[in-house]
Amino acid sequence: MQKLVSAIDTTSPEFKEKKEKFLKIFQEYKEILRQVQQGGSEAALKKHISRGKLLARKRINLLVDPDTPFLELSSMAAYGQYDNQFPAAGIVTGIGVIHGRETMIVANDATVKGGTYIAETIKKHIRAQEIAMQNRLPCVYLVDSGGIFLPEQARVFPDKFDFGRIFYNQARLSAEGIAQISIVMGSCTAGGAYVPAMSDENIIVKKQGTIFIGGPPLVKTATGEEVTAEELGGADIHTSISGVSDHFAGNDEHSLQICRSIFESIPFPDRQKLDIGVIEEPDYDPEELYGIAPVDLKQPLDSREIIMRIVDGSKFHEFKTRYAPTLVTGFARILGFPVGILANNGVLFSETALKGTHFIELCIHRKTPIIFLQNITGFIVGKQYERQGIARDGAKLVHAVANATVPIFSVIFGGSFGAGNYAMAGRAYEPRLLFMWPNARISVMGGDQAADVLVTIKKDQYIASKKEVPDEELVQLKKSILKKYDFESSAYYSTSRLWDDGIIDPVDTRKILALGISMSLNRKFSDPKFGVFRM
């Protein structure tokens, strides 16, 4: 493979100025993340700890193998919503390693409204299960939840992807032979009682964990019977009488030890084989990405500058270098894993779409995971391009992405607009993982374009009705649209609604992609299969 050579002078005033602008964005992100990961209020934290319970992230730290990474997902779910009363949507999800195998971990945070579920909590829980299903990851549920957040019940209870989908997914995971272990470390009420009940094995903590379909208040209302939570569904009852639980734990630490012991009896899957090479660090310092990340999306950026700072040895075997240059395609390695990379270098033309489709086919037939690096305004528009069949050729690329039978991963390092988001493996195309850099933007089109389109439509309406065009109204309309798009296209807005799997530090991109590829090998890649490509 050829070693890429940077054209950027990292000592230049321009680079330093750009880095300074990005670091302001990055520091804001880190401060928000720090606040979110504290969990609930100080009072809630003290109350939780006073009961002898560990915090959710501490539980995870004790569960995973020492000195191994834990990739937390969607840390800022629900950020900027509900008056920020649900940090991380009250649940911690992520991929960790237990006895040498990648595992999906779902941990309720009882310091956040008692670990109850709002819409984003459910979406985050279900997303974790989807990742587990796609990649054959065993699941561990650290249960400490009061169930549905009742004031929001109409938004979280009855629909297809609402609360009930969690248990549907558990049944499907079980049918695929994917192990699921629950540790009941607090409340496990109503529908939530099915989380441990539908797991292969479950552990319950003495005088702390409880499982019941209806809690003491509901029992009293329904039957007149007065009963304590412990008498109704405590650890003694469920491990010695009902048999709902399999293992009795003295405290949180003990329960986590039992869970780790269970993993010693879970067989490893037959993993996909890849030609894994010797790991090389990039020739260029990944921290230089802080001065390369596109803060101003109007300024062009050669995506090779991103590639050479995340791939092994900064080596890249480029495919069709001279053809359709607005899409960079080629092969590389990331921490030894072979990958195919598609990275935007401008707008998508018909030729770009054909090049991307050809390259995806190569990756699929060679059973090579694919990385999409997004910084895309969309497809070219205009009479000439419509007549040349841009819709037909763009459809080929979308078709290839949708039917990829190898794992695909997406990183939005700049903009992600319009159908370009689809062609570059946006959320709708089920990448195994999708992350955004803090500076990234996502919307149906850029704010300037949207404002110009809507102002033009408004102006045409006035002209059609033979009225005078009020210039001041159009100016105000444009300002309001720009403000709306600036707010709604931010990485924070996206990640709050789980349009991605989280905002990440650009320097961590390389490690995160490697972890994702390793995770994906737990399910063997299927053979190529395509539908009809319109010619």
The answer on 467 and 435 residing in a single domain is no
The answer on 392 and 256 residing in a single domain is no
The answer on 452 and 442 residing in a single domain is no
| Residue bearing tokens 């067989």 | 267
In a domain, 430, yes or no: yes
Residue 446, pLDDT > 90, answer no
Residue 213, pLDDT > 90, answer no
Q: Distance between CA 343 and CA 473 in Å, rounded?
A: 40
The helix (H) or strand (E) run that includes residue 91 is strand 91-98
In a domain, 25, yes or no: no
| Residue bearing tokens 């939570």 | 229
Please write the tens of the pLDDT for every residue from 80-102: 999 999 999 999 999 999 999 99
Mean pLDDT of all residues in 363-367? 97
The whole-number pLDDT of residue 469 equals 80
| Of 235, 238, 219, 239, the residue nearest 227 (C-alpha) | 219
pLDDT band at 190, cuts 50/70/90? confident
DSSP letter (8 states) at residue 108: E
The whole-number pLDDT of residue 141 equals 98
Q: Distance between CA 288 and CA 532 in Å, rounded?
A: 43
Using alpha carbons only, what angle is made at residue 177 by residues 173 and 181, rounded to the nearest 5 degrees?
70
The answer on 441 and 292 residing in a single domain is yes
> 3-state class of 103 per DSSP?
strand
In a domain, 17, yes or no: no
pLDDT band at 421, cuts 50/70/90? very high
In a domain, 525, yes or no: no
Percent of the chain with pLDDT over 70: 100
pLDDT band at 410, cuts 50/70/90? very high
CA 134 to chain centre: 13
What is the average pLDDT value for the chain, to the nearest integer?
95
Domain endpoint, select from 263, 294, 321: 263
Let me know: does 393 contact 353? Beta carbons within 8 Å: yes
Let me know: does 90 contact 118? Beta carbons within 8 Å: yes
Please write the tens of the pLDDT for every residue from 380-396: 889 999 998 999 999 99
Q: Distance between CA 135 and CA 516 in Å, rounded?
A: 9
Residue 449, pLDDT > 90, answer no
Residue 531, pLDDT > 90, answer no
Mean pLDDT of all residues in 258-280? 96
The answer on 438 and 351 residing in a single domain is yes
The whole-number pLDDT of residue 366 equals 97
Please write the tens of the pLDDT for every residue from 246-267: 999 999 999 999 999 999 999 9
| Of 365, 357, 330, 371, the residue nearest 525 (C-alpha) | 365
The answer on 315 and 176 residing in a single domain is no
User: 262-277 burial string, b = 16+ CB within 10 Å, else e?
Assistant: bbeebeebeebebeee
Q: What is the dihedral of CA 8, 9, 14, 17, to 10 degrees?
A: 100
The whole-number pLDDT of residue 22 equals 98
Let me know: does 100 contact 269? Beta carbons within 8 Å: no
What's the domain count of the chain? 3
The answer on 479 and 352 residing in a single domain is no
Residue 534, pLDDT > 90, answer no
Q: E-assigned strands of 33-83?
A: 71-73
Let me know: does 455 contact 461? Beta carbons within 8 Å: no
Residue 214, pLDDT > 90, answer no
Neighbouring CB atoms inside 10 A of 251's CB total 15
The whole-number pLDDT of residue 66 equals 96
pLDDT band at 514, cuts 50/70/90? very high
DSSP letter (8 states) at residue 369: -
Neighbouring CB atoms inside 10 A of 361's CB total 16
Distances in whole angstroms, Cα of residue 346 to Cα of each of 224, 290, 300, 326:
69, 21, 8, 5
The whole-number pLDDT of residue 284 equals 97
The answer on 467 and 375 residing in a single domain is no
In a domain, 509, yes or no: yes
DSSP letter (8 states) at residue 315: E
The whole-number pLDDT of residue 447 equals 87
The whole-number pLDDT of residue 191 equals 79
In a domain, 405, yes or no: yes
| Of 457, 490, 487, the residue nearest 474 (C-alpha) | 457
Q: 311: which residues sit within 8 A by CB, 6+ positions away?
A: 282, 332, 333, 334, 339, 341, 510
Residue 69, domain extent: 37-263
pLDDT band at 434, cuts 50/70/90? very high
The answer on 308 and 255 residing in a single domain is no
Please write the tens of the pLDDT for every residue from 466-495: 888 888 888 899 999 999 999 999 999 999
The H-assigned helical ranges of 51-163 are: 56-63, 119-135, 153-156
Please write the tens of the pLDDT for every residue from 229-245: 999 999 999 999 999 99
* pTM (two decimals): 0.95
Q: Distance between CA 159 and CA 146 in Å, rounded?
A: 20
Q: Distance between CA 333 and CA 317 in Å, rounded?
A: 10
The answer on 514 and 453 residing in a single domain is no
Please write the tens of the pLDDT for every residue from 289-333: 999 999 999 999 999 999 999 999 999 999 999 999 999 999 999
The answer on 66 and 144 residing in a single domain is yes
In a domain, 278, yes or no: no
The answer on 253 and 304 residing in a single domain is no
Backbone angles phi, psi at 52, to 5 degrees: 80, 15
- Sign for the CA dihedral angle at 202, 135, 118, 411 comes to positive
Mean pLDDT of all residues in 212-224? 87
In a domain, 514, yes or no: yes
The whole-number pLDDT of residue 362 equals 97
The helix (H) or strand (E) run that includes residue 464 is helix 447-464
Q: Distance between CA 161 and CA 149 in Å, rounded?
A: 16
Q: E-assigned strands of 146-296?
A: 180-188, 201-205, 247-249
Residue 192, pLDDT > 90, answer no
CATH number at residue 82: 3.90.226.10
Residue 130, pLDDT > 90, answer yes
Q: Distance between CA 428 and CA 500 in Å, rounded?
A: 10
Domain endpoint, select from 228, 263, 298: 263
Q: E-assigned strands of 269-345?
A: 315-319, 327-334, 337-344
Residue 197, pLDDT > 90, answer yes
Of the given ranges (172-181, 450-459, 508-517), which has the lowest mean pLDDT? 450-459
Let me know: does 284 contact 340? Beta carbons within 8 Å: no
Distances in whole angstroms, Cα of residue 514 to Cα of each of 230, 336, 348, 433, 477:
45, 8, 28, 11, 45
pLDDT band at 189, cuts 50/70/90? confident
